Amino acid sequence: MTPFSHSLAQSVGSLNETTLISCIHNWLGRATPPPPAGIGDDCAVLPAVQGSPLLTIDPVVYGKHFDDSLPPEQVAAKLLKRNLSDIAAMGGRPHAAVLGLMLSANLSMTWLERFFEGLKVSSLTYKTHIVGGDICSAEGRTFAATLTLYGEASRPVQRLGGQPGDRVAVTGHLGGSLLGKHAAFIPRLTEGQWLAARPEVKAMMDLTDGLAKDLPAMLPPQACARLDTASVPLDEAAGRMAERSGQSPLYHACCDGEDYELLVILDGQADLSPLLEAWSRDFDLPLTLIGKFADASPETDGHLTDAANGNILFPRGGYQHLSGQ
């Protein structure tokens, strides 16, 4: 479904800003509380959190993060869930969000109503109120939504903290996200909180740009990541993508991005058996050991390498935002 309409009467250009905001308020329903905690004042007044405050931001942009093939409800769900995935990677819990919209006058009111219906459902599902936002007009065929999410964590787990000898683990299965998972994923909030409570966990991040790019971002200086390629949990969609592209399923598992799984660094000095056994009791989702951090040579410093032969893997792999590759 295209977000845009050829009819002025069926587009946002037929409304003034006050009327549009009133529509949005009505569409969100219970997902936005009354002011001052929700929409209706210059700022939303939020209660203090008990742990460390967390703040993250992510957009969805037409032509970049979605196209006409994605229903508006799924566009909205993806917007909220990709922010929730950041909170999950810190071991946190979400509380409230504000939404910035940039839209052209030809945006369909029907499409926008369905977008907010999807946002309401996701907000209620993940107990995250939409408490305010802003609207800006744009030219051409434009829809861009940016969500800023506020949360908290008892023990915020950062990306950095691993050392040579530490083990690398990942939740779920990787690769082939463009075949559907990029919009239909589940943010690993419960799993992130569980992992953050474990002393063996030294660092975490969510996999958004692909293992080939995200894992090196977690490395300390003068270190490399040695990947046990046979252990990487391949999504069946990675195999289907490989049939189309001619690349290997491993390539897609490492380079596609938008897996929204948790990449976890575990203490290499610890006995990991109790953690892995407890995980298996509490979750059906796999947690797979896929490699470790190691001291690097000048050539392998900062790189992902094959544990079997030391070769550098996918040195320019993963999603590169400014080049779009």
Which residues are annotated binding-site positions for substrate?
65, 258, 319
Cβ(235)–Cβ(181) below 8 Å: yes
Is residue 188 within 8 Å of 96, Cβ to Cβ?
no
As given in the structure block, the two tokens for residue 154 are: 């008892």
Distance CA 4, CA 163 (A): 50
Question: What CA–CA distance (Å, rounded) separates 236 from 241?
Answer: 9
- Give, in order, the Cα–Cα distances in Å from 241 to each of 172, 178, 238, 247: 18, 9, 5, 8
Phi, then psi, of 149 in degrees rounded to 5: -115, 135
Smallest CA-to-CA distance from 138 within 58, 61, 39 is with: 61
Residue type, 99: L
Binding residues are 42, 56, 58, 65, 86, 133-134, 159, 206, 208-209, 258, 319
Binding site residue list for Mg(2+): 42, 56, 58, 86, 134, 206, 209
137: β partners: 103
**Using CA atoms, how far apart are residues 134 and 146, in angstroms rounded to an integer?**
10
List binding-site positions for ATP.
133-134, 159, 208
